Amino acid sequence: MTTSPYAERIADLADRAREERKSFEPPASPPAKERGLEYLREGFGPTVAVYLRGRTGDEHVRFSEVELSLLQAAINDWLALYLRCHGSSRDPAVTVREAAELLVETHNVRDTAQLLTGVPPRADR
């Protein structure tokens, strides 16, 4: 199986997302906005950035099915952590492409997460 130059980074991000989700302790009184934002900045954003670098860099990278699956899982794990910080137990079902397109459009991980999850409601921002 062929892997991209990003294979190790993707695996690391996916492992970290899975571990963070497994060890997550819900906030005592949601929302924990700063904690949620940290998951976006430290996990979600870098995960989407790997995909974007591969798709928009000097050479178009072909990600393997495994890599795309890991990116997808990591994106949704990071968003689930963000949602849990806001008191929601919903599991997102976002594609990595969808997340990347929105991030390119908004240039902001918080706005991207809000558009993808609806959390917090627009009036609460």
| pLDDT by position in tens, the chain (length 125) | 678 999 999 999 999 999 999 999 999 999 999 999 999 999 999 999 999 999 987 678 999 999 999 999 999 999 999 999 999 999 999 999 999 999 999 999 999 999 999 999 876 54
Kindly report the backbone phi and psi dihedral angles of residue 121, in degrees, each rounded to the nearest multiple of 5, phi listed first. Answer: -55, 150
Which pLDDT score, from 0 to 100, does residue 123 have? 67
Which pLDDT score, from 0 to 100, does residue 122 have? 76
Find where tokens 């968003």 sit. 79
Which pLDDT score, from 0 to 100, does residue 1 have? 60
Q: Quick one: which of 113, 107, 51 has its CA closest to 82? A: 113
CA 63/CA 61 separation, integer angstroms? 6
Q: Quick one: which of 118, 90, 115, 96 has its CA closest to 14? A: 96
Helices and strands in the chain, H and E counts: 6, 0
CA 85/CA 52 separation, integer angstroms? 26
Q: Are 30 and 82 in contact (CB under 8 A)?
A: no
CA 28/CA 11 separation, integer angstroms? 31
Domain residue spans of the chain: 7-120
CA 103/CA 118 separation, integer angstroms? 15
